[in-house]
């Protein structure tokens, strides 16, 4: 999976199954790649199937704090 954060200026990639607490501020895009994932952004929980993308079209720039790769 890949996360665009710091208003899209930086990226972070994760590949191994499991749960991880993270601190990725101003997350603007999350792509699952070939993984099924669940993540927490601004206290809201999202689940994506393989090859899906979630984009912050509202410009809320919330922090991604937790992710799980299945």
- Residue 21 maps to which CATH number? 2.60.20.30
Structural domain tally of the chain? 1
C-alpha to C-alpha distance for 55 and 57, rounded to whole angstroms: 6
- Residue 58 is predicted with a pLDDT of 76
C-alpha to C-alpha distance for 61 and 68, rounded to whole angstroms: 20
Taking alpha carbons only, the member of 16, 36, 14, 15 closest to residue 24 is: 14
Question: From the CB of residue 5, how many other CB atoms can be counted at a distance below 10 Å?
Answer: 21
> Which residues lie closer than 8 Å to 20 by C-beta, 6 or more apart?
14, 66, 67, 68
- Residue 66 is predicted with a pLDDT of 98
- What is the pTM assigned to this prediction? 0.92
Which domain, by its residues, includes 58? 2-69
The one-digit pLDDT tens for each residue of the chain (70 residues) are 999 999 999 999 999 999 999 999 999 999 999 999 999 999 999 999 999 999 987 788 899 999 999 9
């Amino acid at each position: 999976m890949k996360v665009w954060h710091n208003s899209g200026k930086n990226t972070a990639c994760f590949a191994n199954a499991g749960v991880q607490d993270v601190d990725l501020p101003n997350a603007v895009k999350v792509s699952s790649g070939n993984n099924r994932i669940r993540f927490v952004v601004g206290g809201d929980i999202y689940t994506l199937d393989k090859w899906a993308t979630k984009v912050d079209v509202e410009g809320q720039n919330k922090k991604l704090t937790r992710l799980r790769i299945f």
